[in-house]
Amino acid sequence: MKSFAKELEANIRKDRDWVARYGGEEFIVVLPDTDLELARSIAERIRKKVMDRVLVIDNNKIRITASFGVYTVCDGDKCMTTDGIIEMVDKKLYKAKISGRNTVES
């Protein structure tokens, strides 16, 4: 989990974005002033970097994968509540997981 968190932090803008652990194996990445297309692109870049990384644990090589749910907070002048955002992102993440994992859904 620490390795994954470091990968997330390495791929965000230090001056405005932030990462937080949310639940057991989930993280929230907040990308202010970022449209859906760019957010999806960032998630895809991180997904590929995670997939390409090989971890060695007790002399065993392990590859991990990541699934992402991506959603935008505001659509024009209409913005969602925090609970609404988390609900929608959770639905996107669930879709990514049932679609075979290691994917980005938006």
pLDDT digits (tens, 9 = 90+) for 46-74: 999 999 988 899 999 998 899 999 988 88
Give the phi and the psi of residue 71 in degrees, each rounded to 5: -150, 150
Q: Which residues carry out catalysis? A: 25
The pLDDT confidence band at residue 23, using thresholds 50, 70 and 90, is confident
Q: Whole-angstrom Cα distance, residue 16 to residue 28?
A: 14
Average pLDDT over residues 94-104: 91
CA distance 97 to 94: 5
Task: Please report the pLDDT score of residue 40 as a whole number.
Answer: 94
List domains and CATH numbers for the chain.
2-105 (3.30.70.270)
What pTM was estimated for this model as a whole? Answer: 0.84
Tell me if residue 74 falls in helix, strand or coil: strand
pLDDT at 77 over 90: no
How much of the chain, in percent, has pLDDT values that exceed 70? 100
Q: CB–CB of 97/40 below 8 Å?
A: no
* Closest-CA residue to 64 (of 4, 2, 21): 4
